[in-house]
Chain A
Amino acid sequence: MSDVIATNQTILVVGGGISGMTAALEAAECGKQVILLEKSPALGGRVSQLYRYFPKLCHPTCGLEINNRRIKGNKNLRIITMSEVASISGDAGNYSVKVKVSPRYITENCTACGECGKVVETEFDDDFNYGLGKRKGAYLQHAMAYPQRYVLDPAIIGTDDASKAREACKYDAIDLDMQEEEIDITVGAIIWATGWQPYDANKIQAYGYDRIDNVITSVEFERLCDPHGPTGGKILRPSDGAEAKNVAMIQCAGSRDINHLKHCSRICCMASLKHANYVNEKYGEEGQATIYYIDIRAIDRIDDFYRKVKELPNVTFTKSKVASVVENKENGNPVLHGVDTEGYHRYANEHDLVVLAIGMEPSVPADAFPVDVKFNEEGFIEADESNGAIFAAGCSSDALDVNRAVQNATASALRAIQVVNNVAGSEG
């Protein structure tokens, strides 16, 4: 790692999700030197965990493939995975950044041949699948993981599995003595794109996520529908692995709620429309999707998508914030209790599976931020003079859908370029 070259004309991008990748690539394709840090072993972030995008229902991996190819072909861009920012000091045009790099235990030699994965035995909850499935202690994060290199779970270091893995590798790519590293770099501008995380569903007590097997979150539902996911793309419910054909989506699960997230997470309505579409796609007439909502926020031309889904005969919309979910002990079905407020109709509806349209909160909370920037009450970074040359991109700046996150990331790339160009100008 010592060979990381950076100057105060370098742009640092923190976070390798769709926003970070975009900001980094757009800047690099303008000829700028860029360093991209990613906490996990591979790029892609949240979108790589999505099956499809609304409203086109196209596949995030399609765009990821293009971005991966852009990265492979760009010499201005340096990627450091498994790394996090430890500290930031300095001012616009001249920041010193400490970067903590966790050991991957696998070197560039790795050809992703997969032999190590075959021999290790210990399995772990697959966080890429939100714990819905298992993965080996030596693994490739996902089929499109870039860099296409395996990683060892720290938990197997020092166990037989580790040595088995090393013996299995014909390319001497496994280095069990790899240590955590700290590297210092100087950069001119920083683009912060650490994205979002799903709100902790356990906190929404009334919906019983912690008590009822068949209550899951929208991000988990995406994994269920993905052919690369734990069920190979089948909608199988957790309690008994049965096909879930009658699915309920509960909107504002954590959002628009002063007890949880006071902001509207913007994407959840469309996510649920998309999910209703999955159900319809998989089961046709046999499927039934019910969306419990307060307001359907499908703005601008995304409203087309809302109207299309509305026309599906097996999708129902109920204007109601569900009051509580209880489990039918006989069959494990969640039963939703509440009131349809359009004309006051009380309901107790039983479904096979409940999907909580879970809210979006910034991954890096204000109090854990490595340097002093302006946050709003919702915890997003707000553009402000006082932030110097630290620019938020994507969901670090607001609850955004992918299209807007990319728009915003492209904009932040220019803001960063302005800074380093001025540095270049002043240094002649």
Chain B
Amino acid sequence: MAEEKKVGTYICKGCGIGDRVNTAGMATIATRECKSQVTKEHDFLCSAEGVKMIQDDIDNDGVNHIAIVACSRRAKTEAFSFENVAISRGNVREGVIWVRPDTDEASETTQEMAEDYTRMAVHEVSVMTPPTPSGQSEGRKNLLIVGGGISGMTAAIEAARAGYEATIVEKTGALGGSAANLYRRVPESSPFKDPEDSGVAALIAAVDADSKITVHLNSTVTKTSGAPGRFSADITTESGATATENFGAIIQTSGFTEYDANQLPHLGYGKGKNVVTQMELEALAAAADGGVIKTADGKDINSVVFIQCAGQRSDEEGHLPYCSGHCCTTSIKQAMYFKDQNPAIDTTVMFTDLRTPGAGGEDFYRSGQDKGINFTKGVASEVTDNGNGCTVKFRDMILDEDTSTDADLVVLATGMVANAGVDIDVVGQDDPGKWEVSVDSILNLDYRQGKDMPQLRHGFNDSHFICFPYETRRTGIYTAGPTRRPMDIGQAIEDATGAALKAIQAAENAELGRAAHPRSGDLSYPSFRKEGCTQCKRCTVECPFGAIDEDEERYPQFNEGRCRRCGTCMGACPVRVISFDNYSIDTVGNQIKNVDIPEEFDEKPRILVLACENDAYPALDMAAMNGVEYSAFARIIPIRCLGSTNLIWVTDALNSGYDGIILMGCQKGENYQCHFVKGSEIAQDRMSKVDDTLQSLSLEPERVETYEIAITDIERAPQLINDMAATIEKIGMSPFKF
């Protein structure tokens, strides 16, 4: 920034702060110790006039670094959001007066807390600069859609309707995907009674008619690089001709493959023409086109048994452990193919749990019963050929007996297997310079961390999050439809439309340099000092979003558009060359170093708490609102993610005489709750190295603890702080005080 730095400190006396602590003393510290050029107190800082006071100083007095010493950064955020200036918040309401008793004996330590938070706020902001976009984005807004099934076509059409261009790359010679093979689909609108047209033809027509949509058939994506707003993709046809095009964002709709029923010999598959999969039955029905459905070898069908969960919801070798969701309604639909044509045909659906949820599902189930489809809660154990058809051996769960039934045709409800490309946790990326196309890959990303989208469970490219289903680990690339999660057509259409929105949003925000979820709108991005870098690759390996590539010399290449601003790279860097304008080793380090450390025999320990800004910090705020007290010796610093914790902070803290350190991150592991996916996990591995540091300083290991904190831990989080205080009382103060 051209203009020189001018720090203003604004201390609020409202909400009882003025009554509980000596704000004048804090002001003096800000001015004398922290060199705050402008320092003001106010009775009601978040009021219109309080805010105006600050704005005036910005406008007329050149103040461009602002420390607000008042309530939590989570409160009054809008009031204290000023343009083009660096802002820090000192939390003396939720962080001090609300967690300390209003007593004479407590007043001294309470005051010390308030003064420290003042120091921390001023020293933090003085090393911040207001972030500005990198301008890396090329501002492209068009979408690349990989896969031309219902999901892909829907995404393209919906994007085009909003005015955005879309390019569909389809591997086969025609649009339509799996749904093109359906005779009919399950109804999506009331009265939910009869099978409906699949709608594929209409979609194809709409795609063809839309000037904003380009389609490449018989083509695959052979290389993808770049970032939101500036993706580059090689599109290669069967013949081998390759064209490179640029895109703003990408949607992967590569669909599913029907589970291979040959792995179900006990259900008679592969032995004859009278055991088929659901997809094969669709073909027979399509062939009959409303007429009499016959077996592939032309036999009449007077009885059909549908076996649900065939090779699904099972732990057996080669089976699918999950439920594919659509199969129950699909079997009902298919049984209707027969019943609608000839009610005399016996159709039995053999299920363990009939899953027809939602508004329409139960209507469709009832309609099936009304049409005379027989539903049996039973588990089929074996299907054998009995000469003129099949015999299905099964356990009738209701009549509680092992029995059997004959059928001219058996339909196996086998599940969906995702077309998710290569599993990057198994197949790593080629070395820089040696990159090659993979025929198994869908996207052929040249990203450092692998060629395809990460897989979550059971081989699907799903998001882990419940409230943020599109929160993928490759910014600007979204998966939709059955490649993401088993789903029926109705859900796939919703999913694809949502993915289109997210893709458009990613492109729009990339142009402005705004971060994607969860730090939406953050303009900061990581930069590094090349001269200091040792090419250790930790940042490129650890980035949860694969945002950092490596150039030929193994230097990191940051892709701002892909970055989610968690700071994990910063935490990983052993030589501390990575930083953000508004979040760096120094913004936190300065806070740590400037806390006043009383001398050993003052018996006033200091406990550093590094708290995840999304869960631990709000938990402590809410604890404060509920009047839960905790030790006056704690000094809490919110951090973007535990993953951004650099060991130096811990070492510095220990060296400068802190008596205990607590790191509070989110739950890791299978049900991780870290919104930067791996942040807290990585941090916790990293912290295992702290023990060496502790040993080298001959300090007790109990002085540093790492915890998983949930946002609901309003009792536990404060308790952990108090526990640390107790521990210190037990093991004594740190010798490192000066």
Q: Do chains A and B touch in the complex (CB under 8 A)?
A: yes
Instruction: Give the B-binding residues of A (Cβ under 8 A).
Output: 18, 22, 25-26, 29-31, 47, 51, 53, 56-70, 72-74, 109, 111-114, 143-144, 148, 170-171, 226-228, 256, 262-266, 295-304, 307, 319, 341-344, 376-378, 380, 382-384, 398-400, 402-404, 406-408, 410-411, 413-415, 417-418, 421-422, 425
A410 touches B323 (CB 8 A): no
B356 touches A264 (CB 8 A): yes
Q: Out of B458, B469, B622, which one reaches A144, CB within 8 Å?
A: B622
Report whether A297 and B353 are in contact in the complex, using a CB–CB cutoff of 8 Å: yes
Contact: A295 with B509, CB < 8 Å? no
Q: A65-B615, A262-B362, A376-B189 are in contact. Are A228 and B714 (CB under 8 A)?
A: yes
Q: Across the interface, which residues of B come within 8 angstroms of A377, CB to CB?
A: 190-191, 363
- For A409, the closest partner residue in chain B by CB is B498
Nearest CB of chain A from residue B258's CB, rounded to whole Å: 16
Q: Say which one of B70-78, B201-209, B565-573, B588-596 lies at the interface with A.
A: B70-78
A59 vs B675: C-alpha distance in the bound complex, in angstroms? 12
Asked if B460 and A263 sit within 8 Å, CB to CB, the answer is: no
B490-540 residues at the A interface, CB under 8 angstroms? 491, 494-495, 497-498, 500-502, 504-505, 508-509, 517-518, 520-521
Which of B76, B500, B671, B714 is in CB contact (< 8 Å) with A56? B671
Q: Is the CB of A410 within 8 A of B712?
A: no
The reply to whether the CB of B357 lies closer than 8 angstroms to some CB of chain A is yes
Q: Which of A30, A228, A263 contacts B359 (CB 8 A)?
A: A263
User: Among the interface residues B322, B354, B359, B497, which one has the most CB atoms of the partner chain A within 10 A?
Assistant: B359
Contact in complex: B466, A63 (CB < 8 Å): yes
- Which of chain A's residues have a CB closer than 8 A to the CB of B397? 319, 342-343
Distance between Cα atoms of A276 and B468 in the complex (Å):
25
A57 touching B671 in the complex, CB below 8 Å, given contacts A74-B521, A263-B361 = yes
B614 touching A299, Cβ below 8 Å: no
| B362 pairs with A263, CB closer than 8 A | yes
A-B contact pairs, 26 of them (CB 8 A): A22-B467, A53-B466, A59-B710, A59-B712, A61-B712, A62-B673, A65-B615, A66-B468, A72-B77, A111-B44, A111-B75, A143-B714, A144-B618, A263-B358, A304-B322, A342-B398, A343-B399, A382-B190, A399-B358, A406-B466, A407-B491, A407-B494, A408-B494, A411-B498, A414-B497, A415-B497
Residue of A nearest to B77 (CB): A72
Most chain A C-beta atoms within 10 Å of own C-beta, residue among B161, B191, B397: B161
Which residues of chain A come closer than 8 Å to B363, judged between CB atoms?
262-263, 377-378
Instruction: Give the shortest distance, in Å, between B509 (CB) and chain A (any CB).
Output: 7
Residues of A near B625 (CB, < 8 A) are: 114, 143
Judged by a CB distance under 8 angstroms, whether B457 is at the interface is yes
Query: Known contacts being A342-B400, A414-B501, is A303 close to B323, with CB within 8 Å?
Result: yes
Give every chain B residue within 8 A of A304 (Cβ-Cβ).
321-322, 457
- Given A227-B712, A297-B357, A299-B325, verify A256-B400 contact (CB < 8 Å): no
Contact check, A343 vs B467: say whether CB atoms are below 8 A apart.
no
B46 on the interface (CB 8 Å rule)? yes
> Using Cβ atoms and an 8 Å threshold, which residues of chain A touch B159?
414
| A418-B614 contact given A29-B520, A399-B359, CB 8 Å threshold | no
Q: Are A407 and B495 in contact (CB under 8 A)?
A: yes
Does A112 contact B75, Cβ atoms closer than 8 Å? yes
Query: How many angstroms from the CA of A258 to the CA of B443 in the assembled complex?
Result: 49
Among residues 291 to 346 in chain B, which have CB atoms less than 8 Å away from a CB atom of chain A? Answer: 313, 321-325
Report which residue of A307, A319, A418 has the largest number of chain B beta carbons within 10 angstroms of its beta carbon. A418
**B416-460 interface (Cβ within 8 A of A):** 457-458, 460
A344 and B667 contact, CB distance less than 8 A: no
- Chain B: interface residue count, which band? 35 or more
* Chain B window 597-608, contacts with chain A (Cβ cutoff 8 Å), 1 for yes, 0 for no: 000000000000
Complex CA–CA separation, A297 to B355 (angstroms):
5
User: Using Cβ atoms and an 8 Å threshold, which residues of chain A touch B466?
Assistant: 53, 56, 58, 63, 402-403, 406
Inside 8 A of B468's CB, which chain A residues have their CB? Answer: 63, 66, 406
CB pair B76 A411 closer than 8 Å = no
Complex CA gap A295/B349 in Å reads: 14
> Which residues from chain A contact B700 at a C-beta distance below 8 Å?
none
B497 and A51 contacting across the interface, CB-CB below 8 Å: no
Q: Is B369 an interface residue (CB 8 A)?
A: no
List residues of chain B with CB within 8 A of the CB of A264. 356-358, 361-362
Q: Which residue of A lies closest to B617 (CB)?
A: A65
Assess whether B626 is interfacial by the CB under 8 Å rule: yes
The 9 closest A-B pairs by CB, nearest first: A63-B467, A343-B400, A410-B498, A411-B497, A376-B190, A414-B501, A266-B357, A113-B15, A303-B323
B199 within 8 A of A: no
Q: Is the CB of B467 within 8 A of A402?
A: yes
Instruction: Type the 1/0 row for B478-497, where 1 means its CB is closer than 8 Å to any CB of A.
Output: 00000001110001001101
In the complex, residue of chain A having the shortest beta-carbon distance to the beta carbon of B462: A301
Q: Give the distance in Å from the alpha carbon of A47 to the alpha carbon of B76 in the complex.
A: 24
A51 touches B671 (CB 8 A): no
Chain B residues closer than 8 Å to A70, beta-carbon distance = 517-518, 520-521
Contact B500 A301 (CB under 8 A): no
Q: With both chains docked as a complex, state the minimum distance between the C-beta of A63 and any C-beta of chain B, in angstroms.
A: 3
Across the interface, which residues of A come within 8 angstroms of B715, CB to CB? 227
**Residue in A25, A56, A297 whose CB lies within 8 Å of B673:** A56
Which residues of the other chain, B, contact A53 by a CB distance below 8 angstroms?
A: 466-467
> Is A113 touching B467 in the complex (CB atoms < 8 A)?
no
Complex contact A413–B501 (CB within 8 A): yes
What are the residues of chain B within 8 A of A111 when measuring CB–CB?
Answer: 14-15, 44, 46, 71, 75-76
Is B382 close to A, CB under 8 A?
no
Q: A30-B508, A58-B667, A410-B501 are in contact. Are A18 and B357 (CB under 8 A)?
A: no
Most buried by A among B47, B353, B399, B673: B353
> Are the CB atoms of B355 and A295 closer together than 8 Å?
yes
Q: Which of B192, B358, B457, B505 is within 8 Å of A30, CB to CB?
A: B505
Q: How far apart sit A195 and B300, CA to CA, in the bound complex (Å)?
A: 49
**Is A300 a contact partner of B325 (Cβ separation < 8 A)?**
yes
Beyond A266-B358, A399-B359, A403-B469, whether A300 also contacts B614 by CB under 8 A is no
Closest approach, in angstroms, between the C-beta of B199 and any C-beta of chain A? Answer: 13
Cα(A247)–Cα(B104), bound, Å: 49
B158 contacts the other chain (CB 8 A): yes
Given A29-B521, A30-B505, A406-B468, CB of A418 within 8 Å of CB of B158: yes
Asked if A26 and B501 make an inter-chain contact with CB atoms under 8 angstroms apart, the answer reads yes
Query: Considering the chains assembled together, what is the distance between the CA atoms of A171 and B18 in angstroms?
Result: 14
Is B2's CB within 8 Å of the partner chain A? no
A350 to chain B, nearest CB (A): 25
Residue from the list B358, B502, B714 in contact with A398, Cβ < 8 A: B358
B701 within 8 A of A: no
Q: A58-B673, A111-B76 are in contact. Are A300 and B190 (CB under 8 A)?
A: no
B residues within 8 A CB of A383? 189
Please tell me if the beta carbons of B358 and A400 are within 8 angstroms of each other in the complex. Answer: yes
**In the complex, chain B residues whose CB is within 8 Å of the CB of A31:** 508
Q: CA A65 – CA B622 in complex, angstroms?
A: 12
Q: Quote the shortest CB–CB distance from B18 to chain A (angstroms).
A: 10
Most chain A CB within a 10 A radius of its CB, from B321, B325, B399: B325
How far is A109 from B622 in the complex, measured between Cα atoms in Å? 21
Nearest B residue (CB) for A382: B189
Min C-beta distance of B713 to chain A, whole Å: 8
| A67–B397 CA distance with the chains assembled, in angstroms | 46
Q: Which residue of B lies closest to A265 (CB)?
A: B357
Report B-chain residues with C-beta under 8 Å of the C-beta of A228: 622, 712, 714
Known contacts A56-B466, A112-B75, A402-B466; is A301 also within 8 Å of B161 by CB? no
- Residue from the list B520, B666, B713 in contact with A73, Cβ < 8 A: B520
User: What is the distance, in angstroms, from B20's C-beta to the closest C-beta of chain A?
Assistant: 12
| Cα distance A417–B501 in the bound complex, in angstroms | 9
Q: Which residues of A contact B322 (CB under 8 A)?
A: 300-301, 303-304
Q: What's the nearest-Cβ distance from chain A to residue B122, in Å?
A: 23
Query: What A residues does B76 contact at CB under 8 A?
Result: 111, 148
Q: Which of B374-419 contact A (CB under 8 A)?
A: 377, 397-400
B265 sits at the interface (CB 8 A): no
Q: Once the chains bind, are A66 and B675 in contact (CB under 8 Å)?
A: yes
